[in-house]
Amino acid sequence: MQILTVVSLSGGQGKTTTSFFLGLTLASLGFKTLWIDGDPQHNLSLYGRSPHQNDEPTLLECITGQVQPTDAIYPTDWENLSLIPSDRALEQSQTHLANVTMGELLLKKRLKNLDFDYCIIDSPPQRSQLCVTCICAADKLIIPVETNSKGLACLQSTLETIDELSENMAWQGEILAIVPFRDTIRGLNRTKTSREAITYFEQLCQERDIAITPSIVDSEKYKQAIDRAEYLPTELNSPFNKLIELAGVV
Ligand SMILES: Nc1ncnc2c1ncn2[C@@H]1O[C@H](COP(=O)(O)OP(=O)(O)OP(=O)(O)O)[C@@H](O)[C@H]1O
Ligand SMILES: [Mg+2]
């Protein structure tokens, strides 16, 4: 099983959107795919439409070891796509992760031996114990960032955190790609803010030899597709098609 964590250390950068459509894309190709909701805000769990009930196990109980991961996996409305959901209580995992030895590697260990082709972890926006364990579980990291000044600052702090974990040997995977989020086109042209941000991302990716995907354009259609549980039109799915190509899927 290949584990892909979607990480970006600021709110609203497109982590859940990327996790959602990447999961759908992999599952639609017939790969057995597992979504893990690593964010106490639990948006992926809401989008995922699983039959999970409030009193049933979630990611929290997997992390604390009260249940096996297989006991917290639920089907979703989509074929080949399952979910380990979360809720607000996931915040309680922070204390557990801080108090166990090698908490950063705990999720990676828990996910060993699961019978899926791909696992996609949606992570929380702050640099917390939970976020670090989501990063360290990954074989590959995907970093969505908004095409504006907040996105630039977020990319820098995200890369700093990843570099630090990599130097400490806590994480030894690779960065799969940066995904520009909410690329804003007005008329036929990209706005100055988006253009400047993307130029910066491209330079940085070239310097660091990191791939960059086509942008997720600023469009209500992504939100609509999530709300209606629909697939994206082909032209809007290109960032996710590129991600699976980079991951060696197709
Ligand atoms: N293509 C798009 N254009 C404009 N808005 C979008 C697009 N895709 C998603 N959104 C909206 O942008 C917001 C942020 O997206 P998303 O939830 O994926 O970010 P996030 O990084 O997971 O945020 P958080 O850190 O709060 O979990 C959401 O309200 C989402 O509905
Ligand atoms: Mg999110």
Instruction: Give whole-number Cα distances, 3 to 65, 139, 164, 174, 186, in Å.
Output: 20, 5, 20, 11, 36
- Rounded distance from Cα 237 to ligand 1 centre (Å): 15
**Mean pLDDT, the chain, whole residue set:** 96
Residue 143, token pair as written in the block: 């970093």
pLDDT digits (tens, 9 = 90+) for 50-80: 888 889 999 999 999 999 999 999 999 999 9
User: What is the mean predicted confidence (pLDDT) over 107-136?
Assistant: 97
Q: What separation in Å is there between the alpha carbon of 53 and the centre of ligand 1? A: 25
Torsion of CA 193, 198, 200, 203, to 10 degrees: -160
Please report where in the chains the tokens 């989008």 appear, as a residue: 47
Tokens for 80, please give them.
């080949």
**Ligand 1: which residue has its CA nearest to atom 11?**
223
pLDDT at 54: 87
Report d(CA 62, CA 108) in Å as an integer. Answer: 11
Q: What is the pLDDT of residue 51?
A: 85
> pLDDT at residue 250 above 80?
no
Rounded to 10°, the helix 149-167/192-208 angle is: 20
> How does residue 143 score in pLDDT terms, banded at 50, 70 and 90?
very high
Give the residue, by CA position, lying nearest to ligand 1 atom 29. Answer: 12
C-alpha 138/C-alpha 136 separation (Å) is: 5
Total-model pTM? 0.97
The boundaries of the domain holding residue 192 are 2-246
pLDDT in tens, 193-249: 999 999 999 999 999 999 999 999 999 999 999 999 999 999 999 999 999 999 998
Taking only the tens place, the pLDDT of each residue in 17-44 is 999 999 999 999 999 999 999 999 999 9
Q: Which residue has the tokens 């570099």?
A: 163
Q: Which amino acid is at 97?
A: L
Q: How far is the CA of 183 from the centre of ligand 1 (A)?
A: 12
State which ligand 1 atom lies nearest to the alpha carbon of 13: 21
What CATH number does residue 43 fall under? 3.40.50.300
User: What total of structural domains would you count in the chain?
Assistant: 1
CA 98, CA 135: separation in Å to the nearest integer? 15
- For residue 228, what pLDDT is reported? 92
d(CA 215, CA 126): 23
Is pLDDT at 158 greater than 90 in this prediction?
yes
186-195 confidence digits (pLDDT tens): 988 999 999 9
Ligand 1: residues with CB < 6 A are 8, 11-17, 39, 41, 43, 125, 182, 216, 218-219, 222-223
Ligand 1, residue 226: give the atom nearest the CA.
Answer: 31
If one residue of 9, 16, 24, 120 were mutated to test the ligand 1 pocket, choosing by the most ligand atoms within 8 A of its CB, it would be 16
Residue 50 is predicted with a pLDDT of 86
Distance CA 91, CA 39 (A): 8
Residue range 130-151: mean pLDDT, rounded: 98
40/92 Cα distance (integer angstroms) = 9
Mutate to test the pocket of ligand 1, among 7, 9, 17, 131 (most ligand atoms within 8 A of CB): 17
- pLDDT tens digits for range 103-118: 999 999 999 999 999 9
pLDDT band with cut points at 50, 70 and 90 for residue 14: very high
Q: For residue 169, what pLDDT is reported?
A: 87
Written as one string, the DSSP assignment of the chain is -EEEEE--SSTTSSHHHHHHHHHHHHHHTT--EEEEE--TT-HHHHHHT----TTS--HHHHHHTSS-GGGG-EE-SSTTEEEE---GGGGGHHHHHHHSTTGGGHHHHHTTT---SEEEEE--SS--HHHHHHHHT-SEEEEEEESSHHHHHHHHHHHHHHHHHHHTTS---EEEEEEEEEE-EETTEE-HHHHHHHHHHHHHHHHHT--BPPPEES-HHHHHHHHTT-PPPGGGGHHHHHHHHHTT--
pLDDT at 176: 98
